[in-house]
Amino acid sequence: MRRYPPERLIAFAEQVLRAVGVRPDHGRVTAQRLVEADMRGRGGHGLIRLPLYVSRIEAGGVNLDPDIRVVRENRVSALVDGDNGLGQPVMTLATEIAIAKAREEGVAWVGTVHSNHAGAAGVYTAMALRHDLAAIYFAVANGNAMPPWGGKERLLGTNPIAAAFPAGEEIPFQLDIATTVASHGSIKVKAQAGEPLPEGWVVDEEGRPITDPDRADEGFLLPIGGYKGAGLTFMIGVLAGIMNGAAFGRDVVEFRKDLGTPTNTGQAILVLRPDLFIDMEEYRKSMDRHLRDFRSSASMTGDRVRLPGEWAWEREQESLRLGVPLPEELVVRLDELAQRVGSPARLG
């Protein structure tokens, strides 16, 4: 691993995107969201995605000058049409709208249509945390990787869910998960590192485990919690796909293989004030008390009990102090990409 200041990585990604025709403002936002994912330890949705984004842009699969706009709206909701622009600018605008509405009205639900892959789910709920707001995010994944429970046709994706709840003095609770045991990003990280997949991530049509990451596409990803996870994945497809007029089920485009077809990706975010029913100070004290109670509870292993969000928060703080860690293999690939598209930026 090599470490880099976050701003250097953002500038690098921004220059690469501008070299292939991305608008400066959209290049900056996309670069920021990618690097934030790496800072939080979500390497599968960080700069490792940049080569694929460039490939889709070069194939004409992304609109480089989209008219991203609100097409339906009331006081507590909005639908953002991304006009097939890069997903990070689309979802960032949707989150900013939701934050503004929630601060005014107490709660807001904002969806997207005609969007694209927007990276790590948790970076958007974290945006709400900076305003002392809670948030829950959903998205339809950009490719189907598993069947409905008991089936054998790939009709469901890794549809992620993220949630963030502010605290007072304690590290906030932040959840960021795929509804499959592993995401495509996690498999990509394993493949890059030359490591086998753990059993229970991917199975073939007979239910036998696949541990070679290069063969993952031959099988099915497994849902978390069996039929419960498969049901949750469908639910997210309704919330972020069907209700937005975005792709779900057979309409989903496999964006890693079909580089030129617009994906019509759908996302949704719910943002709310924690003081809707109790005073904010009471909420903070109660949240801190419960977080401390859980973290100080008895452990099976002898190690401290850790809650979702702690590791991401610690990685982010470490990245700010020491730099963002990137595997050497990724650095080489990114520099090769920059050279190929004519960007002067280099990391090595």
Answer whether residue 75 is part of any domain. Answer: yes
Cβ partners under 8 Å of residue 27, min gap 6: 13, 14, 15, 17, 18
Mean pLDDT of 19-27: 98
Instruction: Write out pLDDT tens, residues 246-293.
Output: 999 999 999 999 999 999 999 999 999 999 999 999 999 999 999 999
pTM for the model: 0.94
User: Where do runs of H (alpha helix) occur along 112-224?
Assistant: 122-129, 184-193
Do residues 18 and 87 share a domain?
no
Q: Which domain holds residue 149?
A: 64-180+223-278
Q: Are residues 273 and 333 in the same domain?
A: no
Mean pLDDT of 177-183: 91
The answer to whether 274 touches 132, Cβ cutoff 8 Å, is: yes
Tell me: do 53 and 112 sit in the same domain: no
Q: How many domains does the chain have?
A: 2
36 plus 147 within the same structural domain: no
Distance CA 14, CA 22 (A): 9
Looking at the structure, do residues 274 and 326 belong to the same domain, yes or no?
no
Please tell me whether residues 81 and 152 are part of one structural domain: yes
Q: Tell me, yes or no, whether 8 and 142 share the same domain.
A: no
- Whole-angstrom Cα distance, residue 111 to residue 271? 12
52, 75: one domain: no
The domain that holds 3 is classified in CATH as: 1.10.1530.10
3-state secondary structure string across 293-329: HHHCCCCCCCCCCCCCCHHHHHHHHHHHHHCEEECHH
Digit-coded pLDDT (tens) for 100-154:
999 999 999 999 999 999 999 999 999 999 999 999 999 999 999 999 999 989 9
SS3 123: helix
pLDDT at 182 over 90: no
pLDDT at 185 over 80: no
73 alpha-carbon distance from chain centroid? 25
Domain membership of residue 304 (yes or no) is: no
pLDDT for position 154? 95
38 within a domain of the structure (yes/no): yes
Residue 218, domain member (yes or no): no
Which helix H or strand E contains 178, and what residues bound it? none
Contacts of 293 (CB under 8 A, 6+ apart): none
Judge contact between 168 and 156, C-beta under 8 A.
no
Q: Residue 333: what are its φ and ψ, rounded to 5°?
A: -65, -40
Name the pairing type of β-strands 173-177 and 161-165: antiparallel
Q: Token pair of 209, please?
A: 């485990």
Query: How many C-alpha atoms does 275 have within 13 Å on its Cβ side?
Result: 12
Listed in sequence order, the residues at least 6 apart from 119 whose beta carbon sits closer than 8 Å to its beta carbon are 33, 34, 37, 45, 46, 49, 87, 88
Which residues are CB-neighbours of 209 under 8 A, at least 6 positions away?
A: 199, 200, 201, 202, 203
Poorest-pLDDT segment among 40-49, 62-71, 201-210? 201-210
Domain shared by 12 and 128, yes or no: no
172 and 270 share one domain: yes
Mean pLDDT of the chain: 96
Write the DSSP assignment of 245-277 as a string of letters.
Answer: T---GGG---TTT--SS---B-EEEEEE-TTSS
Is residue 90 located within the same domain as residue 131? yes
3-state DSSP helix/strand/coil % of the chain, to nearest 5: 45, 15, 40
**116 lies in the same domain as 250:** yes
Write down the pLDDT at residue 49.
Answer: 96
Quick check: 163 pLDDT over 90? Answer: yes
CATH of the domain at 126: 3.30.1370.60
The reply to whether 266 falls in a domain is yes
In this structure, what are the phi and psi dihedrals at residue 23, rounded to the nearest 5 degrees?
-60, 145
Separation CA 70–CA 97 (nearest Å): 9
- pLDDT over 90 (residue 183): no
pLDDT in tens, 186-232: 888 888 888 999 999 999 988 899 999 999 988 999 999 999 999 99
CA distances from 256 to 53, 141, 227, 292 (A): 9, 11, 27, 42
